[in-house]
Amino acid sequence: MALIEAVPNISEGRDESIIDAVVKSVEAGGSTILGVEPDVDYNRTVITYAGNKTEVTRSSVNLVETASKLIDMRNHHGNHPRMGAVDVMPFIALGESTDKDAERVAEDVYQILADDYSLFKYGLSASHPSRARLPSLRKGEYEGLSSRFSGGDWPNEDTRLPDNWDGATKPTCLEFGAMAIGARSVLVAYNINIIEAEPKVSSMVAKVIRSSGFVLRGHSTKKMRVKGILDYVQGMGVPLESHGISQVSMNLSNPSETGLHMAFEVVRVIAESMGVEVRGSEIVGLVPLQAMLDAGSWFNGGHDSEEALVLKAIEGLGLDQLTPFDPDSRIIEWAVRNKRGAL
């Protein structure tokens, strides 16, 4: 079956009535909801849905238009970087679909929304290599958009303006902000729990392990960038106030190369060497089956059934630490199979 998955992140994680209205707008477009994960601390909700190209296009437009009416970024506060009411809208190929199919859906949605919203193409849809990474586009967040669009200080002119910039800020920008949209490969949003209230160790660990590394400053104005330990990883340290802990919050952009188990073990070893305990982790959104099987194989040390390896992964990564992890609804292939039939 040729399916497209969409995983938009909306800047609302506390008001259930708003989240429900946005989810209903997705369903009205014909897509199947695979997951809805609000986070109170981040004040952000990850909504995962899938369908054919027409369904996902229609649902995605509905989602943006509904969020635009209900979420006012002037009143938004949360612990996660964001630049708009719908911060990011990625499209991923599933089943028999290809990356090109996902790119076409992203372009169709972009064209429909371009007259009314400030849009940055990213990922596989980026118009320039420097615009492919979300952190480069989201720098300065919502609060910095006005200065950014009006010629204020900005580190890279290639990433300053939206792709649909026509010389004037969109009327929706004050309340809605801006949105990143594009196709991408499968990505795993993965957070590791650090037992500290303030994200001191978690921030240090994130800098050391993320691919971009950190800037080391020397005498006078001298500085150099030191590469991070892990490839295909974006990371930062964030507080999780509702649980009194912090997290190393990561995006694993190539989980077949840098898997869940590798990220978990590296973070654990470094954090423990700094005298801080790691206690489990969480996956935000859905995860590919193979990523769970790879992790299960690491913790199991041998060959076993898919179901047994998944259980080993859940146990070894501590995925039940904060909230229960249901593999039937959280593993992409199993969730799609259960809701729409076999791929």
CATH of the domain at 262: 3.30.70.670
If one counts the domains in the chain, the total is: 2
Residue 5 has pLDDT above 80, yes or no: yes
The dihedral built from the CA positions of residue 121, 122, 125 and 131, taken in this order, carries a sign that is positive
Query: Model confidence at 341, in pLDDT bands (50, 70, 90)?
Result: low
* Mean pLDDT on 163-190: 96
Q: Which residues pair with 37 in a beta bridge?
A: 46
Q: What are the residues whose beta carbons fall under 8 Å from the beta carbon of 93, sequence distance 6 or more? A: 4, 5, 99, 101, 102, 183
- End-of-domain residue from the set 183, 204, 225: 183
Alpha helices in 10-144 (DSSP H): 16-28, 53-70, 99-113, 134-138
Give the per-residue pLDDT at 338: 87
What is the band of 222 on the pLDDT scale with cuts at 50, 70, 90?
Answer: confident
193 three-state secondary structure:
strand
Please indicate, yes or no, whether residues 234 and 248 belong to a single structural domain of this protein: yes
Rg over CA atoms, the chain: 20
97, 222: one domain: no
The rounded mean pLDDT for the chain is 95
Looking at the structure, do residues 31 and 163 belong to the same domain, yes or no?
Answer: yes
**How far apart are alpha carbons 247 and 205 in whole angstroms?**
10
CATH code where residue 155 lies = 3.30.990.10
Which residues are annotated as catalytic? 80
pLDDT of residue 189: 94
Residue 56 confidence (pLDDT) above 80: yes
Q: Model confidence at 50, in pLDDT bands (50, 70, 90)?
A: very high
Domain boundary pick from 150, 183, 216: 183
Strand partners, 188: 252
Separation CA 189–CA 284 (nearest Å): 5
| Residue 301 reports pLDDT greater than 90 | no
Residue 304 has what pLDDT? 82
Residue 160 has pLDDT above 70, yes or no: yes
What domain range includes position 111? Answer: 2-183
Q: Quote the CA–CA distance of 331 and 49 in Å, as a whole number.
A: 13
158-182 CB burial, b ≥16 within 10 A, e <16: ebebbbbeeeebbebbeebbbbbbb
| 204-216 average pLDDT score | 95
Residue with tokens 């890279």: 156
Asked which of 115, 148, 183 is the last residue of a domain, the reply is 183
Q: Give dist(CA 165, CA 163) in Å, integer.
A: 6
Could you tell me the pTM of the whole model?
0.83
Clarify whether residues 206 and 244 are in a common domain.
yes
pLDDT at residue number 2: 86
Band of pLDDT at residue 220, cut at 50, 70 and 90? confident
